[in-house]
């Protein structure tokens, strides 16, 4: 089966959603998703991710004025069964009494695909999703991870132009979730289907997304590659939602950030009376104290060993405790005075918020 690169391009145009009870789930949003791209909708519970996905699927109509286009064609009032989309939800929605093979082949059978081709496609998908040997088991004889693999195989069996995934890994335990996440990544790349993936888990979003749409309260807060939203968040909400962030407030004078523990050169020569600056914990380096300009001095509050690194909390450096992720080889203990250096481009000025 030629599975490579047959996705559709998706455009949602001014799609908002107000439910019958008056709940505004989504502000009008416009978004383009390229053919073959994996776009992740990321945000806290209730921010409108699922609503956006359901509008793309055809399970929900956008408010008047909104449009959904697949490859330029207006699909807004086309029902889900004629949109050629594959869907996988958090709960599996498989047929519990049918075998794995019959579940995977279900959509093909409904579409009248001949038995020999069904068998061939099931065989291929079973290999691709790592469930070889389970073909004749019933769904209720499978583990959660195996069920989710079957759900994926079933969703892509019909060769959809668009794959819609709503928190497909959330119900699984942490170790399995990590493993399936990498498998899913490989599978999505191999299939080349346009994929829209809903999650509230930033690690999942980072690993799987070509681009991430960060959502907040029914609105798009930022769209960008994982690197862009991580290193150049548009505002404090995005900075804190994507990974750990130190947010410090301090004046910048002629391109130097003035902190209680020292002065740090910062990219851009601006002067800002009260700047909000983001610093990722892993961009802070522990150095000798008093090593000169560009070094902050502080006192170690606590050290937590995390295995591959350690989290050192330092007070006195920035006006509030600073989280530092340091290599696990560095010796530091509570009460020690330490120096911290931060590269100018690791200090990120965020817009001030009221």
Give residues in contact with ligand ATP (CB under 6 A): 19, 21, 23, 25, 43, 45-51, 200
Q: Do 200 and 147 contact (CB within 8 A), yes or no?
A: no
By beta-carbon proximity to ligand ATP, the closer residue of 43 and 145 is: 43
By beta-carbon proximity to ligand ATP, the closer residue of 16 and 107 is: 16
Q: Do 314 and 335 contact (CB within 8 A), yes or no?
A: no
By beta-carbon proximity to ligand ATP, the closer residue of 181 and 200 is: 200
At its nearest, how many Å lie between ligand ATP and the CB of residue 23? 4
Going from the C-alpha of 222 to that of each of 17, 106, 125, 323, the distances in angstroms are 19, 38, 35, 25
Report the C-alpha gap between 207 and 271 in whole angstroms. 37
By beta-carbon proximity to ligand ATP, the closer residue of 36 and 58 is: 58
By beta-carbon proximity to ligand ATP, the closer residue of 51 and 341 is: 51
At its nearest, how many Å lie between ligand ATP and the CB of residue 50? 3
At its nearest, how many Å lie between ligand ATP and the CB of residue 54? 8
Buried b (16+ CB within 10 A) or exposed e, 239-267: bebbbebbebebebbeebbebebbebebe
At its nearest, how many Å lie between ligand ATP and the CB of residue 12? 14
Helices 144-157 and 100-110, packing angle to 10 deg: 20
At its nearest, how many Å lie between ligand ATP and the CB of residue 251? 37
- Pick left, alpha or beta for residue 227 (phi over 0 → left; psi -120 to 50 → alpha; otherwise beta): alpha
């Amino acid at each position: 089966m030629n599975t490579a690169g047959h996705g559709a391009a998706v455009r949602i145009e001014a799609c908002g959603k107000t439910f019958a009870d008056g709940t505004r789930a989504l502000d009008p949003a416009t978004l383009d998703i390229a053919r073959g791209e994996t776009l992740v909708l990321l945000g806290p519970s209730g921010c409108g991710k699922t609503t956006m996905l359901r509008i793309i699927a055809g399970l929900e109509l956008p408010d008047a004025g909104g449009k959904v286009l697949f490859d330029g064609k207006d699909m807004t009032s086309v029902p889900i069964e004629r949109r050629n989309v594959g869907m996988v939800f958090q709960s599996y929605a498989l047929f519990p009494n049918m075998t794995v093979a019959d579940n995977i082949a279900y959509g093909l059978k409904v579409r009248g695909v001949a038995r020999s081709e069904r068998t061939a496609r099931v065989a291929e998908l079973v290999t691709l999703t790592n469930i070889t040997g389970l073909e004749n088991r019933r769904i209720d004889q499978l583990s959660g991870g195996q069920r989710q693999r079957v759900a994926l195989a079933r969703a892509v069996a019909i060769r959809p132009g668009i794959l819609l995934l709503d928190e497909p890994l959330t119900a699984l335990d942490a170790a399995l979730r990590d493993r399936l996440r990498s498998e899913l990544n490989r599978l999505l790349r191999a299939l080349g289907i346009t994929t829209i993936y809903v999650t509230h888990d930033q690690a999942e979003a980072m690993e799987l997304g070509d681009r991430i749409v960060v959502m907040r309260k029914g609105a798009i807060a930022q769209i960008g590659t994982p690197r862009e939203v991580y290193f150049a968040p548009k505002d404090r909400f995005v900075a804190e939602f994507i990974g750990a962030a130190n947010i410090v407030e301090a004046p910048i004078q002629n391109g130097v950030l003035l902190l209680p523990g020292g002065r740090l050169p910062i990219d851009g020569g601006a002067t800002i009376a009260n700047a909000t600056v983001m610093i990722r914990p892993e961009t802070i380096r522990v150095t000798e104290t008093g090593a000169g300009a560009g070094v902050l001095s502080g006192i170690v509050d606590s050290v937590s060993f995390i295995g591959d690194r350690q989290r050192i909390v330092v007070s006195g450096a920035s006006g509030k405790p600073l989280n530092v992720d340091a290599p696990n080889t560095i010796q530091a203990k509570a009460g020690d005075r330490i120096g911290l250096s931060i590269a100018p481009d690791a200090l990120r000025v965020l817009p001030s918020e009221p």
